[in-house]
Structure 1
Amino acid sequence: MRKGIIRPLVICIFQKDNSILVAEGYDSVKKNYFYRPIGGGIEFGETSSAALAREIEEEVGAAIDHLEYIGTVENLFKFNGETGHEIVFVYDAKFVDTGLYEKGSFIGKEDNGATYKAMWKPLTEFGKGKLRLVPDALLNLIAQTGEGR
C-alpha cells in the first residue's frame, strides 16, 4: 500500500455452490483476520477485465472466461495502522479449468513473491458476521446483484 495514492483494483467473485473464493489476510494492528476475493491491480492503459484475466493467470496460473461486471466499490480503510483508498471493480467469472472448483484451497503468488491461500468460504459465513469480507461494501453489492445464490 502506497501512501497518498488511490489504487485501482479488480477482484472476482468466483462461485461454487453457495461459496466464494477468497484469500485470508491479517491486520497485525487490529489483530483480526479478513477475507478478500482474489484479483489485483490495474495497470495504466489496461482495462479492468484485462487486468483481472492477467492477475488470475499470474497469481494462480489459471485462465478465466464468462466475465461479467457486477459493480464498483470505493474502499476507504485502515490496514496495519495505515489509511488506504481503493477503487475496486468487481466481476463474476468462471475458471476454464473446472478442476479448481474441486480443490478446497490452492496457493496463489503475488508479483512480489508473497504467497496466499485461496479457499472457498460459504457466503452465509460473511452474512452472519462470523467472517469479515472486504471491501466492506462488497457483501451489499453481492446481495443487490443476486450473486452468490
Structure 2
Amino acid sequence: MPIDRSVIRVKAMLIAPSSDRTAHAVTLNPPTAENPAGYHRLIGGGVELGETAHEAVRREVDEELGAVVRDLALVSTVENIFRIDGVLGHEVVFLYSGRLDPQPVASGAVLTESDGSVVPVVWRPIDDGDEPLPLFPAAVVPWVQQLILR
C-alpha cells in the first residue's frame, strides 16, 4: 500500500555512528525523479498513535534491523518537506543519536520495511564531501557532523 503523503507525518530517526566514529548507518534508497542515483536516509520510521517518539525509534530499529539502541538521546526536532517522484511530502522528525547493537555489517546489511520491502543498509562517511548521494532528511546533515565529531 502506498504511503499517504497528503498528511504531515511524525517520524523518529536515528544517527547511529560506527564504533570508530568515521561513518553512520543509513539506508540506501532507490532512484526517484528528484534523485536519479538514489539517496541515503537515516534509519527510523513513523511514530504510531499512542507511542512516544522515543519508543518509536527503538521499535523501528528492532523491527527493521533486529538490533537495540544503546545510549539513546534526543538531539533535535527537524522538519522535512520533500518531493518523491513529484509528490509533496512533509514530516516532523524527532532526531535521536545512539549506538546500534549489533552494528550492521560493513557490506551486505539490509533492513526490512513494514511493507516487506528489503532496503540495503550502508555506512555513510561522516566526512561525506565526496559522497554523491544526498542524505535525507536534509536538515540532519549539520547534526551528524556536530554529534559524531565532538
Do they fold alike, i.e. is TM over 0.5? yes
CA apart distance, 1:95: 2.2
Equivalent in the alignment of 1:110:
113
Equivalent in the alignment of 1:75:
80
Equivalent in the alignment of 2:54:
49
SS class of match (1:59):
helix
Q: Note the residue ranges of structure 1 that are not aligned, 5 or more in a row.
A: none
1:38-87, Cα deviation, whole Å (9 max, x unpaired): 11110011111100111111001112221011101101110111000000
SS class of match (1:32):
coil
| Contact kept in structure 2, 1:27 and 1:80, CA below 8 Å | no
Q: 1:122 aligns with which of 117, 121, 125?
A: 125
- In 1, the alpha carbon distance for the partners of 2:61 and 2:131 equals 28
TM (normalized to structure 2)?
A: 0.87
Change (3 A) 1:62 1:129: closer
Equivalent in the alignment of 2:144:
142
Counterparts of residues 24-35 of structure 1 (less than 5 Å): 24-30=28-34, 31-35=36-40
CA apart distance, 1:148: 2.0
- In 2, the alpha carbon distance for the partners of 1:147 and 1:110 equals 27
- In 2, the alpha carbon distance for the partners of 1:38 and 1:112 equals 15
Number of residues of Structure 1 aligned to a counterpart in Structure 2: 143
Q: 1:15 aligns with which of 17, 33, 55?
A: 17
- In 1, the alpha carbon distance for the partners of 2:70 and 2:148 equals 18
Q: Note the residue ranges of structure 2 that are not aligned, 5 or more in a row.
A: none
1:19-52, Cα deviation, whole Å (9 max, x unpaired): 0100011343232321011111100111111001
| Contact kept in structure 1, 2:37 and 2:133, CA below 8 Å | no
> Which has the larger displacement, 129-138 or 114-123?
129-138
1:80-101, Cα deviation, whole Å (9 max, x unpaired): 110000001110111233xx25
2:115 is matched by which residue type in structure 1? N
Identity of aligned residues (%): 30
Greater percentage in helix: 1
- Structure 1 segments of 4+ aligned residues over 4 angstroms from their partners: none
